[in-house]
Amino acid sequence: MLLRHTKTEVMEREALTINPAKTCQPIGAMYAALGIHGCLPHSHGSQGCCSYHRSTLTRHYKEPVMAATSSFTEGASVFGGQANLVSAIDNIFTVYEPDVIAVHSTCLSETIGDDLKQISTKAKDDGKVPEGKYVIHAATPSFVGSHVTGYANMVQAMAEQFAESTGNKLDQINIVAGWMEPADMREIKRLAKEIGVKIQLFPDTSDVLDAPQIGKHVFYPKGGISIPDLKSTGDSKYSIGLGCFSGEPGAIALEKTCKVPFQTEDLPIGLRATDRFLTALAKAAGVKIPDSITDERGRLVDVMTDMEQYFDGKKVALFGDPDQLIPLTEFLVDLNMKPVHIVSGTPGKRFEQRMQAILSETVPDANIKNGPQADMYLLHQWIKNEPVDLLIGNTYGKYIARDEDIPFVRFGFPILDRIGHSYFPSAGYMGGLRLAEKILGVLMDRQDRDAPEESFELVM
Ligand code: SF4
């Protein structure tokens, strides 16, 4: 009984978070920055923050995540970190030769009040930024928001600080990627190619955090959007922001700075969200969806139909990031399951609104909460009050799953106790197939485990 102190009685809490269902802003900023080719993320704060962020990403992706730090000590903590950051920029360009340094702040530098824009400008004015190299910056105070907010802030910074409008419109569509796995980004590029649409996907962590093993360490792997491509997003004819929490702010920034019109779609997880995304992409580009994609869709529908009888009425508890939970919940409803408890540590009004709309007909009384008090403790309490057949979420769910003996599907970020998850997409029709297969697998394993001898079946 790992969480033996979790009480069944739920009390309203205003100031206390117990086992948060989120992590800190700079982790998201660091992840997003790795989606630019030749970029070295830089953490403006103490070494401890940077180590934590790097190690969380490294443990999830099982790849060495490189990042630099301003290495605050007592002096910088009191007098500000300008001197540290200017000399860090100088050293990084000299020693590590990135094309871009993407600086994000931390709790400490935000509390001091360091102005990253002013310090970056000073570094440039002092000649510390070589010709053709760039420093971008995003404020990521971790005492508000979550890793999703930090990701969105860095993506917005990319759009604001790189996109250029030359007045020469290009026949390409921007896809502002919400927080997805590298495999999901690769899948979106594959789908766009199959439809025949030229896209600029950013950030793009495919071939960065799932780069092939070639026998030697490559400091800047071949993946990531290039600087010229990132600049060209200002000339694209349209943007699709994927995820209203993590992708939309970048699309809004492109509209504001370069007048690129946009629409927001959910991350293409599950059948209907993938339908909406591909329809929007095809419409924006003025092309038709080819038969090959319709066939992929048909295969997913076929498998969903085959599986429906096993999913019917199964109660699910889920936790994680809002942009992933929204389409995932819709997909679970399409599979005839009942998502009854849902928490996300990321604040934002649209989460509850979207969830209620998705669940209004099938599970109108579902427990839905997001924000700081929507934590793992609350989720556990809800599960104690109304048990579920399945738990879906990141690695931190394993404690609840073990205590309550619930089948558990790992999904989201971070997954620290498994390998390979980031190599398989959850996005697109193929991703939906994989998700459904994973879910059914754990449910049937449980059925086998609990079946009495006389009803232990070969064919289920
Ligand atoms: S919460 Fe703040 S202090 Fe803690 S690791 Fe994140 S940025 Fe650093």
CATH number of residue 264's parent domain? 3.40.50.1980
Judge whether 371 lies within some domain.
yes
pLDDT tens, 312-323?
Answer: 999 999 999 999
pLDDT above 90 as % of the chain: 96
Domain C-terminal end among 241, 267, 292? 292
Q: Are residues 312 and 286 in the same domain?
A: no
- Pocket of ligand 1 contains residue 20 by CB under 6 Å: no
Angle between the 182-195 and 271-285 helix axes, to the nearest 10 degrees? 50
- Pocket of ligand 1 contains residue 172 by CB under 6 Å: no
Classify residue 303 as exposed, middle or buried by CB count within 10 Å of its CB (0-12, 13-18, 19+).
middle
User: Mean per-residue pLDDT for 52-57?
Assistant: 97
Report which ligand 1 atom has the smallest distance to the Cα of 43: 7
Report which ligand 1 atom has the smallest distance to the Cα of 52: 5
Judge whether 430 lies within some domain.
yes
pLDDT tens, 147-179?
Answer: 999 999 999 999 999 999 999 999 999 999 999
And the tokens for 93? 């360009």
The three-state secondary structure class of 78 is helix
Given a cut of 90, is residue 362 above it in pLDDT?
Answer: yes
Across the beta sheet with 199-202, the strand order is 199-202, 170-176, 236-242, 262-265
Q: What is the DSSP letter of 455?
A: G
Query: Residue 175's pLDDT is what?
Result: 98
CA torsion through residues 58, 434, 401, 370, sign: positive
Please give the mean pLDDT across all residues of the chain: 96
Query: Residue 2's pLDDT is what?
Result: 65
Given a cut of 70, is residue 128 above it in pLDDT?
Answer: yes
Take atom 6 of ligand 1 and give the residue whose Cα is closest: 24
pLDDT above 70 as % of the chain: 100
Question: From start to end of 80-232, where are the E strands?
Answer: 100-105, 134-138, 170-176, 199-202
H-state helical runs in 47-146: 47-61, 74-79, 82-95, 107-112, 116-125
Q: Are residues 424 and 317 in the same domain?
A: yes
Whose CA is closest to 430, among 310, 251, 226, 293?
A: 293
Q: Are residues 114 and 227 in the same domain?
A: no
CA 446, CA 449: separation in Å to the nearest integer? 5
Residue 106 has, within 13 A of its CA and on its CB side, a CA count of: 24
CA 100, CA 117: separation in Å to the nearest integer? 15
Per the structure, how many domains does the chain have?
3
Given a cut of 80, is residue 46 above it in pLDDT?
Answer: yes
Report which ligand 1 atom has the smallest distance to the Cα of 106: 7
* CA 98 to ligand 1 centroid distance, Å: 25
Structural domain span for residue 197: 170-292
Classify residue 95 as exposed, middle or buried by CB count within 10 Å of its CB (0-12, 13-18, 19+).
exposed
CA torsion through residues 216, 219, 221, 226, sign: negative
CA 437, CA 384: separation in Å to the nearest integer? 27
- Pocket of ligand 1 contains residue 52 by CB under 6 Å: yes
Pocket test for ligand 1, best of 44, 77, 107 (most atoms within 8 A of CB): 107
Q: What is the DSSP letter of 288?
A: P
* CA 24 to ligand 1 centroid distance, Å: 6
Q: Are residues 243 and 327 in the same domain?
A: no
Classify residue 245 as exposed, middle or buried by CB count within 10 Å of its CB (0-12, 13-18, 19+).
buried
Q: Are residues 288 and 307 in the same domain?
A: no
Judge whether 159 lies within some domain.
no
The amino acid that residue 126 corresponds to is D
Domain C-terminal end among 292, 309, 337? 292
Name every residue whose Cβ is closer than 8 Å to that of residue 349 and which is 6 or more positions away in sequence: none
* CA 108 to ligand 1 centroid distance, Å: 8
Take atom 3 of ligand 1 and give the residue whose Cα is closest: 107
Take atom 5 of ligand 1 and give the residue whose Cα is closest: 49
Judge whether 14 lies within some domain.
no
Name every residue whose Cβ is closer than 8 Å to that of residue 297 and which is 6 or more positions away in sequence: 271, 274, 275, 429
* CA 424 to ligand 1 centroid distance, Å: 30
Q: Are residues 356 and 275 in the same domain?
A: no
Query: Residue 4's pLDDT is what?
Result: 78
- Pocket of ligand 1 contains residue 26 by CB under 6 Å: yes
User: Mean per-residue pLDDT for 379-392?
Assistant: 98
Question: From start to end of 247-381, where are the E strands?
Answer: 262-265, 315-319, 338-344, 367-370
CA Rg, the chain, in Å?
23
Name every residue whose Cβ is closer than 8 Å to that of residue 363 and which is 6 or more positions away in sequence: 333, 338, 339, 340
Buried/exposed code over 111-123 (b: 16+ C-beta within 10 A; e: otherwise): ebebebeebbeeb
Q: Which residue has the tokens 């540590």?
A: 345
Q: Are residues 227 and 90 in the same domain?
A: no
The three-state secondary structure class of 103 is strand
Q: Are residues 352 and 388 in the same domain?
A: yes
Query: Residue 460's pLDDT is what?
Result: 84
Judge whether 212 lies within some domain.
yes
Given a cut of 60, is residue 358 above it in pLDDT?
Answer: yes
pLDDT tens, 272-304?
Answer: 999 999 999 999 999 999 999 999 999 999 999
Whose CA is closest to 320, among 243, 423, 220?
A: 243
CA torsion through residues 258, 242, 427, 283, sign: negative
Domain C-terminal end among 266, 292, 318? 292
Judge whether 458 lies within some domain.
no
Given a cut of 90, is residue 430 above it in pLDDT?
Answer: yes
| CA distances in angstroms from 267 to 79, 206, 330, listed in the order given | 43, 16, 11
* CA 201 to ligand 1 centroid distance, Å: 29
Judge whether 253 lies within some domain.
yes
- Pocket of ligand 1 contains residue 69 by CB under 6 Å: no
- How crowded is residue 133: how many other Cβ atoms within 10 Å of its Cβ? 18
Q: Are residues 321 and 437 in the same domain?
A: yes
- Pocket of ligand 1 contains residue 142 by CB under 6 Å: yes
Judge whether 154 lies within some domain.
no
- Pocket of ligand 1 contains residue 107 by CB under 6 Å: yes
The three-state secondary structure class of 225 is strand
| CA distances in angstroms from 162 to 149, 258, 294, listed in the order given | 20, 11, 36
Q: Are residues 352 and 426 in the same domain?
A: yes
User: Mean per-residue pLDDT for 430-446?
Assistant: 98
Given a cut of 70, is residue 12 above it in pLDDT?
Answer: yes
Take atom 7 of ligand 1 and give the residue whose Cα is closest: 106
Q: Are residues 316 and 223 in the same domain?
A: no
Query: Residue 412's pLDDT is what?
Result: 97
Query: Residue 253's pLDDT is what?
Result: 98
Take atom 4 of ligand 1 and give the residue whose Cα is closest: 49
Q: Are residues 210 and 240 in the same domain?
A: yes
Query: Residue 1's pLDDT is what?
Result: 54
Take atom 8 of ligand 1 and give the residue whose Cα is closest: 49
- Pocket of ligand 1 contains residue 378 by CB under 6 Å: no
